[in-house]
């Protein structure tokens, strides 16, 4: 190709011999990147008379947008709900390690904790772009402490709170600050939650319903006040009942405000949800499904005992329980494992499985104009995968930040 330097200083990369996920389909198209963004090659050709500086042969790989994990409690021995001295290096370690799982952006999640933990930890979680140093941080996901004691799951009961006289002010005092907070999970049946939901929504924070015994109308009211997400559907909520579907009923509720969509997180590790239940949810509301790992500190480590905030958990294979009980507590699944399991369990298309981990979380957080797709001008956060959806390489802002070792390490 003729030299391009007169057109633009920033090098233009053309990824060829690949299938890209665009417009909900895998298409035989090249991917063009410049200055960390996906480039429109037709515009480059006709408007700038430009062409590629570098061409990379992807050898038939699938190129998909980077995965976005909106519920991850830690991993590799790091627990985001533990206020340690080396918290910052802990979060850096996790953000680096999850690149190999295909995650390019995530929301570090804190389970129900005492206020001191929030006050110490939250200021250390900075929203920042990803890169070679690790996946980007979109903001914290605060799962609790305003949840139901009856559906605490692995959360410590003594830290669970309700809203007192101050409602939103109580929440603010508990967390210390909402800077860098992206998602808050709460139980909508708690008194005064409606005004809290409204205040959080006003501040651009995504409100999620979870760890709750709410019935369907309470859940619908919460949605009307601004809630848009359900934390790990089926888990830590009332089971579906045909006369009161509870929170699960939001998937097919007709009381969702026009133009809004309710999203729901699913841990498709094969343990938290029976595949049949996964299929029911997916078929009822396919566009709302968001894959999450809900991974805990033990993810990536050998089986055994690890901490999850104020609790101790035991890992045995893919199962994680509160030590000595049969109560599930987070998972050790990786995001790419979840995507593959979801594909297999539902028999859905590759496109659907990939979008559940990229497009849908981006839509949930209202950032789909720059993340979660391979649309022109989006951030060039993408993955190269083989046909079985194993991640071969991870790119952030157009730079390769992880590549599978030839030896498969």
**What is the contact surface with other proteins in residues (CB under 8 A)?**
1-2, 30, 41-46, 48-51
Min CB(286)–other proteins separation in Å = 26
Q: Which residue in this structure is represented by tokens 């200083």? A: 9
Min CB(48)–other proteins separation in Å = 8
Query: Was 272 annotated as part of a binding site?
Result: yes
Query: What is the CA angle 6-8-14, rounded to 5?
Result: 110
Query: Was 251 annotated as part of a binding site?
Result: no
Report yes or no: 233 and 258 within 8 Å, Cβ to Cβ. Answer: no
Between 41 and 300, CB nearer to other proteins = 41
Between 8 and 198, CB nearer to other proteins = 8
Min CB(297)–other proteins separation in Å = 47
Query: Was 276 annotated as part of a binding site?
Result: no
Told to judge if 294 belongs to the known catalytic residues of this protein, a careful annotator would answer yes
Listed residue (104, 74, 12) closest to 354, CA to CA = 104
Token pair, residue 127, equals: 């929203």
- Cα distance between residue 360 and residue 137, in whole Å: 17
Report yes or no: 247 and 238 within 8 Å, Cβ to Cβ. Answer: yes
Q: What share of the chain is helix, strand, coil (3-state, %, to 5)?
A: 25, 25, 45
Min CB(388)–other proteins separation in Å = 27
Q: How many residues in total does the chain contain?
A: 409
Q: Which residue in this structure is represented by tokens 């109308």? A: 217
Between 48 and 86, CB nearer to other proteins = 48
Query: Was 341 annotated as part of a binding site?
Result: no
Query: Was 42 annotated as part of a binding site?
Result: no
Catalytic residue among 79, 294, 379, 381: 294
Between 32 and 106, CB nearer to other proteins = 32
- Cα distance between residue 185 and residue 228, in whole Å: 10
- Cα distance between residue 389 and residue 385, in whole Å: 5
- Binding-site residues from annotation for Zn(2+): 143, 211, 232
- Binding-site residues from annotation: 143, 154, 211, 232, 235-236, 243, 272, 328-330
Active site residues: 294
């Amino acid at each position: 190709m003729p030299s391009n330097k007169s057109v633009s200083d920033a090098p233009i990369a053309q990824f060829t011999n690949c299938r890209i996920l665009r417009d909900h389909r895998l298409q035989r198209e090249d991917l063009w990147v410049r200055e960390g963004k996906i480039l429109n090659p037709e515009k480059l050709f006709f408007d700038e008379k430009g062409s590629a500086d570098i061409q990379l042969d992807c050898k038939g790989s699938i190129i998909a947008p980077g995965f976005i994990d909106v519920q991850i409690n830690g991993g590799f021995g790091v627990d985001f709900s533990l206020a340690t001295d080396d918290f910052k290096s802990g979060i850096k370690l996790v953000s680096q390690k999850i690149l190999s799982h295909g995650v390019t952006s995530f929301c570090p999640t804190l389970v129900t904790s005492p206020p001191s933990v929030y006050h110490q930890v939250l200021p250390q979680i900075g929203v920042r772009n990803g890169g070679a140093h690790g996946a980007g941080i979109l903001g914290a996901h605060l799962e609790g402490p305003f949840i139901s004691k009856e559906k605490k799951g692995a959360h410590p009961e003594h830290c669970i709170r309700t809203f007192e006289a101050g409602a939103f002010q109580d929440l603010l005092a508990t967390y210390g600050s909402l800077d860098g907070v992206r998602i808050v999970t709460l139980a909508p049946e708690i008194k005064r939650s409606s005004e809290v939901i409204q205040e959080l929504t006003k501040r651009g924070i995504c409100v999620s319903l979870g760890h709750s015994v709410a019935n369907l109308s309470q859940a619908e009211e919460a949605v009307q006040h601004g809630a848009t997400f359900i934390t790990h559907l089926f888990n830590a909520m009332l089971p579906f009942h045909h006369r009161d579907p509870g929170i699960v009923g939001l998937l097919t509720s007709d009381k969702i405000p026009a133009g809004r969509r309710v999203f729901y997180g699913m841990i498709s590790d094969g343990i938290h949800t029976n595949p049949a239940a996964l299929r029911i949810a997916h078929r009822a509301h396919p566009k709302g499904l968001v894959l999450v790992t809900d991974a805990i500190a033990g993810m990536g480590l050998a089986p055994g005992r690890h901490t999850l905030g104020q609790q101790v958990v035991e890992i045995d294979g893919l199962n994680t329980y509160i030590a000595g009980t049969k109560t599930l507590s987070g998972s050790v699944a990786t995001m790419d494992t979840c995507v593959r399991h979801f594909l297999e369990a539902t028999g859905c298309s590759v496109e659907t499985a990939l979008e559940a981990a990229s497009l849908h979380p981006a839509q949930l957080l209202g950032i789909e104009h720059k993340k979660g797709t391979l649309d022109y001008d989006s951030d060039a956060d993408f993955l190269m995968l083989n046909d079985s959806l194993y991640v071969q390489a991870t790119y952030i802002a157009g730079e390769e930040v992880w590549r599978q070792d030839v030896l498969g390490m």
